[in-house]
Copies of this chain bind each other. A is one copy, B any other.
Amino acid sequence: MNTPISKSHIEKAHQLIASYIHRTPVLSSSSLNSKSGCTIYFKCENFQKAGAFKSRGASNALFHHLEEAFKLGVATHSSGNHAQALARVAAYAGVKAHIIMPDNSNPLKVAAVKEYGGLITFCKPTLQSREETLKEIITQTGAIEIHPYNNAHVIAGQATAARELLEKIPTPDIVIAPVGGGGLLSGTALACHYFSPDTKVFAAEPIQANDAWQSFKSKKFVPSINPDTIADGLRTSLGSTTFPIILEHVNEILTVSEQGIINAMKMIWLRMKIIVEPSSAVVLSAILEHPEYFKGKTIGAILSGGNADINKLPWNEH
């Protein structure tokens, strides 16, 4: 689906999903501001339904196809948060959700999908295995595919997080979001483009999964091949819908180290008393590792999710 996403597409998405999502708070921390030398407003999607921004896109896509979905079910592949989000909203709507998950997914996320009543099929942790397994399930069931990011309705849904942020903090100098498959980033970029055109859009990506950075710099799609990063939500490749939006509307992608992600995550836990997962912490990590872009500026930073495994904290590993 290559339809460009309009301003009214985002506004309508926001109306459609309003009753199924949280309008999450925007928090700031004086100690993180003083540490970073800028003023950061964190959009807390870690408090979102099912623990991540993914509930926005999944809800918008599902309700766009509600009648068909009700008959045939929905299906997707996801390493975790989109899976939970789709399973949750599907259960809410009385729709069957077929979820393909890589067999190295975070056990907490697998358990949550099961709790929401999602029907899980495990696959190998490669894009090829995920896509093939999904295809099989769709052939068997006729379920409607709701791709985790390469889908205009999903992108329009994800855009509503930045839209809410801009309603509270109208013209930040920079908005920064993590980038994995690019659903959140392309939605964020479009929301800034339509609702605060002077705001620059930055992305943060683990240097050990820097396919988006490579794609962005070379302007040619570079796939993500089994990357090794703690930020488990950011291991996927860009999509054919998200990549062109990113090329057009994103100003810069900044890469961050694994240790930087862990430090930033710990800092957010300690200073803000909120739980974020590693994929969220990349935004603070980028601000701290690349201060030249941020000093003295007003920043909107999207904390994408809170589904961390609290039985296994990265700062306790040896």
Instruction: Identify the A interface with B (CB < 8 A).
Output: 25, 46-47, 51, 266, 269-270, 272-276, 306, 310-311, 313, 315-316
> Which of B51, B266, B270 touches A273 (beta carbons < 8 Å)?
B51
Query: B273 touching A47 by the CB < 8 A rule?
Result: yes
Q: Which residues of B contact A272 (CB under 8 A)?
A: 47
How many identical subunits does the complex contain? 2
Q: A311 contacts B306, CB within 8 Å?
A: no
Docked-complex contact A46 and B273, CB < 8 angstroms: yes
| 8 interchain residue pairs of minimum CB distance | A273-B306, A273-B275, A46-B273, A269-B310, A47-B273, A274-B274, A269-B275, A273-B274
When C-beta atoms are compared, the residue in chain B nearest to A22 turns out to be B30
Knowing A273-B47, A275-B275 are in contact, say whether A316-B306 is a contact too (CB < 8 A). Answer: no
Residues of chain B within 8 A of A275, CB atoms compared: 269, 273-275
Min CB distance A30 to B, Å, is 9
Nearest CB in chain B: distance from A110 CB, A: 15
A310 partner residues in chain B, CB cutoff 8 A:
266, 269-270, 313, 315
B-chain residues with CB within 8 Å of residue A270 when the two chains form the complex: 310
Q: Give the Cβ gap from A315 to chain B, nearest Cβ, in Å.
A: 7
Specify the chain B residue showing the minimal Cβ separation from A273.
B306
Chosen A-B contacts, 22 in total, with CB atoms closer than 8 Å, are A25-B25, A46-B273, A47-B272, A47-B273, A51-B273, A266-B310, A269-B275, A269-B310, A270-B310, A273-B274, A273-B275, A273-B276, A273-B306, A274-B274, A274-B275, A275-B275, A310-B313, A310-B315, A311-B315, A311-B316, A313-B313, A316-B316
Measured CB to CB, the closest approach of chain B to A60, in angstroms, equals 20
Bound state CA distance, A275 and B276, in angstroms?
A: 10
* Bound CA–CA A256/B276 (angstroms): 29
Chain B residues in 8 Å Cβ range of A51 = 273
**What 19 additional pairs, Cβ within 8 angstroms, besides A273-B276, A310-B315, A311-B315?**
A25-B25, A46-B273, A47-B272, A47-B273, A51-B273, A266-B310, A269-B275, A269-B310, A270-B310, A273-B274, A273-B275, A273-B306, A274-B274, A274-B275, A275-B275, A310-B313, A311-B316, A313-B313, A316-B316
Q: How far is the CB of A245 from chain B (nearest CB, A)?
A: 29
Contacts of A47 in B (CB 8 A): 272-273
Instruction: Report the bound CA distance from A270 to B274 in whole Å.
Output: 11
Most buried by B among A46, A266, A273, A313: A273
Minimum Cβ distance to chain B for residue A75 (Å): 26
Closest to A46 in B: B273
* C-alpha spacing A313/B310, complex, angstroms: 9
Query: Could you tell me the distance in whole angstroms from the C-beta of A152 to the nearest C-beta in chain B?
Result: 29
Look across to chain B and name the residue whose beta carbon is closest to the beta carbon of A277: B273
For A29, the closest partner residue in chain B by CB is B47
Q: Could you tell me the distance between the alpha carbons of A286 and B125 in the complex, rounded to whole angstroms?
A: 43
Chain B residues in 8 Å Cβ range of A306: 273
A313 contact set on B, CB distance < 8 A: 310, 313
